[in-house]
Amino acid sequence: MPESAKTNQASHGRLPNPLLDLTIAGLETQLKAWQAYQVEGAHFIAKRLRANLELMRSLGHCTEAGHAGECQRAWLRELQGDYAEEWGRVVATTFTLCFADLAAMGLLFGSRTAKLWPRAQPGPRGEPKLHVVA
């Protein structure tokens, strides 16, 4: 490639296109969310499949109905705890993704100023803080 063509391309860069920028940001966010949920979901399914396998192994060693019932009750307690824990992880992942995406969207659209947004309240930047109501 001639040297003049290389410098000509490098000096121009990419043309500004707000719609394309918004689309790219949205698709990157979507990909990030899908990856986070798939990793979390695969971890949970693997954990539950291991627990199911252990239940079947322990039921194979049961000689009395009472002992089999105890194994199943322990499995159900573990199942209940795992689902509650997973629900908490999914909620935490959702909040994390939402707050990160909102911050990125703010950077994309720019910050509010008192001139353009008279009701804008200047506040601290960074991660949002959760307030616990007692």
**Residue-range domain boundaries for the chain:** 20-106
Mean predicted confidence (pLDDT) in 89-108: 73
Rounded to the nearest 5 degrees, what angle is found at the Cα of 123, between the Cα atoms of 120 and 126?
Answer: 125
DSSP E strand stretches across 93-133: none
- Are 20 and 33 in contact by the 8 Å Cβ rule? The answer is no
Residue 22 binned pLDDT confidence (cut-offs 50, 70, 90):
confident
Mean predicted confidence (pLDDT) in 64-69: 93
Mean predicted confidence (pLDDT) in 51-69: 93
pLDDT greater than 70 at residue 35: yes
Name the one residue in this structure whose structure tokens are 């910050």: 111
Mean predicted confidence (pLDDT) in 82-107: 79
CA–CA distances in Å: residue 18 to residues 30, 83, 113, 125: 18, 42, 20, 24
Residue 72 binned pLDDT confidence (cut-offs 50, 70, 90):
very high
Higher pLDDT residue, 64 or 2? 64
Rounded to whole angstroms, the Cα distance separating 121 from 128 reads 15
pLDDT greater than 80 at residue 124: no
Higher pLDDT residue, 12 or 91? 91
Q: Which two tokens stand for residue 118?
A: 């008279």
Neighbours of 78 (CB within 10 A): 15
